[in-house]
Structure 1
């Protein structure tokens, strides 16, 4: 077939397309580069073709790692594995859990503090009530003692006015109730007489009187102890026993009773077998008795005149010639150091 040169077309058969060589069979080794760790597979790798031999990630699901920043010589091959979303949510919730726990602890501490403060207030209120009750009891007891003493004083006045027979039943009733002052008054009435006049129309019983005085003295009444000591020192209604008188005087003197101090001091100043003279203790006791008489100038009406502590000054004057000034100074020092309730030291 001829062609017209002017047509620019050719009727010559086209050359067949060059034959491309058939692709070779896929090799068992594919040189892939991991998009995550950038590891290039080697022929010796035994991992599956879809898995990176180094990081074991699936090629098609791996995300490329960011390249190293400028200035870094090498890339870091140990990138952190992305957190599980559930773990991320749990981690995000941790601060709130701690806040809740802290709030619970603070609330518990506040509750404990409130309870402790309430207990302290209740304890303080109980102590105040107890103190108030104690003061009320003390006031009530003091009022009862005062009322009882006023009643006994009235009965004593009735006795001294010559109405002992009329007053005796009431005095005995109070003594039976355990009132020490009533016991002393009853003993004085049964002994008969007073510093003013003798009892009228009243039976005397010295033996019973001694029993009441001893009972009162053993209960701690200093006046009863002095009355008993005087009876034994002078031998009135009982055999004379100066040593027993000393014991009863000591009971009263240790309490700081002026009459007891004076009576014991005068016993030591005079001496009475088997009680020897003891001038230094006598000066100490008379000094204390003189100070006590200044503090309580009113005489106890149930004491006899032989036991009035107001006579202590006269006893010191009589005793002064028997003592050296150094002995007097020592006796004064002992008197200054002694307090009621303490042993007398001799």
Structure 2
């Protein structure tokens, strides 16, 4: 990785105001400050790539698995960064690290707040298939969904970072896989490039009959990244003993937080009749005891053997962070959306 010279200023994005509807560029403001200096036990890092996720919009709605974001606060987010000044044991200039940097070019963090990363080619895979996206797909499908050979698996937002990996892991495990995505181009990519058995274009018509036809007899595992109408359409196509994996609910993120979510009709009776299970999770639930490292090793093996293809959507320029997140929420990406800072 080429080294880059340090700048004199540190650009940051703060939340100008919390959105009351869809997120727009007016909700962010760029400011500049001096580049901070590390104290003992800390390092100064310069971000190389920012990772974007739909859940970042949910942080503006209220507390989730993290504290809610507020107006005037620097926009939160994780990134792959390079150490440019170290006062911490175990980290030296040039090391690659992962951490919660926020939306700023330079950040001072303690060694305990950072994960030292290995080399990878391309380096962006450390934020993608070997990072949160790949691990979320891996643990969500295998540990939460308890997928088995011969299962029919449906995944929503299937052309996105997590969904595209979920479907491919399910194929590796001997499943029949159906992806839900928006538009013919994305659906063709799923079936032609990634090996999904079928794809449902949610923009083409009613979801329930399309899911019913594509599932070919019912669904064993549903990996849900969207919620809302998508959840309902698949729920009532589940087989007896089916497992529903609640990973995300992007359909509810970019909305007015004052409006209560619509309830899914008939849930208790249907769950009872079909003996269904629904479980939510966050990926760090499964990191203990070396499981994270073992998962990365298996993911790496699948990538290197060609069984798992990686899709990335890289936007250039720190100044384009807001537009990149807004586009992600609109479904403009295929695969993991990253912003190259420099």
Tell me: higher relative CO, structure 1 or 2? Use CA pairs within 8 A at least 6 residues apart: 2
Specify which structure has the higher proportion of helix. 1
When normalised by structure 1's length, the TM-score is 0.25
Higher strand share: 2
